[in-house]
Every structure is written in structure tokens, then in C-alpha cells.
Amino acid sequence: MAHRKIAPMGQPGDSDLRLLRIYRKVVECGGFSAAEVELGISRAAISMAMNDLETRLGLRLCQRGRSGFALTNEGTEVYQSALQLLAAVEGFRTQVNGLHARLKGELNIGITDNLVTMPEMHITHALSALKERGPDVRINIRMIPPSEIELAVLDGRLHTGVIPDLKTLPGLDYLALYDEASRLYCAAGHPLFEATDVTREALASYDAVVPAYAQTAEIKAIHEPLKASASATDREGVAFLILSGRYIGYLPTHYAERWVRDRQMKALPYHGWRYMTGYSAITRKGGLPNLVLECYLEELNKLINSN
């Protein structure tokens, strides 16, 4: 008599794991009836699952009927193998979940200068929450110009960055963080420091410091009426020249606040001399999976959505 050829079992899937879990419980309970309560399904559903498992394996696993429940020799071996497989699956799940609780690795982040005084402090709070979730995470911050941050995120030297919204690059994803207000300032000792009214025409006669770093066309237009007799490559340089008492210039309100509070600097009294700059967190599109970065962005989103 020809022997029936049984095809070897393929890769176990979710449905196979479900059937094996039912089988394990049936064996541990000593039969279908006792397993009903433990599994929370009917005896008919258990019987159907056992038939499906035997068909899937091509083996008779147990005897059931009026004579009672008993495992075949093959059924005993499958039970032992099922215990090993299910334990391995559970161990894998536990280990992966443990990675979320024990974050390890680095977060390399590039930040534009002078953002630490932003009142929202989204970056600071997100980094704190990340460190809480992963005490072993190493955070590396580079303070560099926006263009360098973009290139470093694109080529993978940085995981993420924080830059002003000057342009949009197709290879980057953007997460809007906040808007930064800037006003026109002068310092103590400047002829305009005690002025209560300043006309646009009079403004053009005073020396001004203008930024030598990238700006949007709208912000450049706002600087256009100024008498540009000095420039600075960053906002700290702008502050230096304003504090000399010889120049007027634009600064973010949060950055200038320390000098305004000490009466060393004041905003000129005209609401038209102000503008807003949006800031975003950037990441590379299609970057490799990175659990540390994902957790950091998750914390950023929580802070943004809570406002």
C-alpha cells in the first residue's frame, strides 16, 4: 500500500500560534470540557481548532471520545515542542517590550543658536522626558547654523535638528515647534532709548546692524529701510553691537528679555517693527528605524499637542 506523502510544515504564523495555545491549554486541562472554562470558548470551537491543528501538522495529536482524552505519541512530542515555541515567542515579546523601558543609544541633535531662552522650552522638556525614559541614552548637541543642520540630518550625521522655517527640502520631514517673535531694539545710551515716538523716516538716519545669516524674503524686506552699517553672523553678534549703544537691530524678544529687564535695552515704540519666525524639528525621510529618536519625537509631539 502506498504511503501518503505529507508536505512539511511551513513557517508558523499567527493562526498557528493561536491553535498551539489552545492545544497547550487542552493538554494542561486534560480534555476539551475542562479547557472550555479556561479558554472561554465552546467545546465545539475547541474541537474545530484541534481538527485544524491536526490538519495543519498532518498528525493525529489525541484520542477523544467516549473513552476519554489521551495524547498520542506524536501529540506528546508536539506538546513539548509547542511549549518551547510559545516560551520563545513570549520571551521575544518581553525582551522587545523591555527595550522600550531601557532605551539605549545616542541622540545626535543640531540646534540653531540662542533658542534656550524660548519660554515654551519644548526641546528642553522633551530631552528631559527622553532621559527619564532612557537613563542610559547619550545626548549629543551641536550648535551650528541651519544649513549645516540640514546637511547633517540628510547625510545621517545628525538624527534630528531644530531650524528656522526658511525653506523646505524634499528629503526632510518637518514638525512645527513654535513661532519666535522679534522686535527692533536699541540700548541704553542710544539717542532713541528715551524716545516715545519714532517715525519710519527718522529711523533710517540711525546706524543699524543687520543679519549676515539666511533670512526669508519677508524678513529681508523688513530690514530694508534700516541704515545697514554693520552685520553679524549670528544673533549674539547682533546683541553685542546693539549693547554698544551705537546701533539699532532686531532680536528675538525672548533673547533680549534679560537686557530689557535690566534696563540695558528696549524695544522701539512702533509695532510695525516686528516679525515672526517659525521653528521646526527636522528628521530625514525614510531614515533607519531608531527607537531613541522615535521616543524623543513622541515626547515633542506630546508637548506641542498639550499647548
Buried b (16+ CB within 10 A) or exposed e, 117-156: ebebebbeebbebbbebbeebeeeeeebbbebbbbbbbee
Is pLDDT larger for residue 199 or for residue 19? 19
Residue 114 above 50 pLDDT? yes
Q: Do 15 and 55 form a contact (C-beta atoms < 8 A)?
A: no
Question: pLDDT confidence of 214, banded at 50, 70, 90?
Answer: confident
Q: What domains are there in the chain, each with its CATH number?
A: 14-100 (1.10.10.10), 105-307 (3.40.190.290)
Q: Worst-scoring range by mean pLDDT, 8-22, 103-117, 214-228?
A: 8-22
Q: Worst-scoring range by mean pLDDT, 19-28, 42-51, 196-205?
A: 196-205
Q: What is the pLDDT of residue 3?
A: 47
Residue 6 above 60 pLDDT? no
Question: pLDDT confidence of 37, banded at 50, 70, 90?
Answer: confident
Mean predicted confidence (pLDDT) in 9-33: 84
Residue 123 above 50 pLDDT? yes
Q: What is the pLDDT of residue 8?
A: 60
Q: Do 112 and 146 form a contact (C-beta atoms < 8 A)?
A: yes
Which residue, 122, 110, 199, is CA-closest to 161? 110
39-76 per-position pLDDT tens digit:
888 989 988 998 998 888 888 998 877 777 889 999 89
Q: What is the pLDDT of residue 99?
A: 64
Q: What is the pLDDT of residue 10?
A: 63
239-293 per-position pLDDT tens digit:
999 999 999 999 999 999 999 999 999 999 876 788 999 999 999 998 877 889 9
66-109 per-position pLDDT tens digit:
777 889 999 899 999 888 888 788 777 767 766 666 778 899 99
Mean predicted confidence (pLDDT) in 131-150: 91
Q: What is the pLDDT of residue 270?
A: 73
CA distance 101 to 87: 21
Question: pTM (2 decimals)?
Answer: 0.66
**In whole numbers, what is the pLDDT of the chain averaged over residues?**
88
> In the chain, what percentage of residues exceed pLDDT 90?
48
DSSP secondary structure letter of residue 287? P
Residue 1 above 50 pLDDT? no
Q: Do 243 and 259 form a contact (C-beta atoms < 8 A)?
A: yes
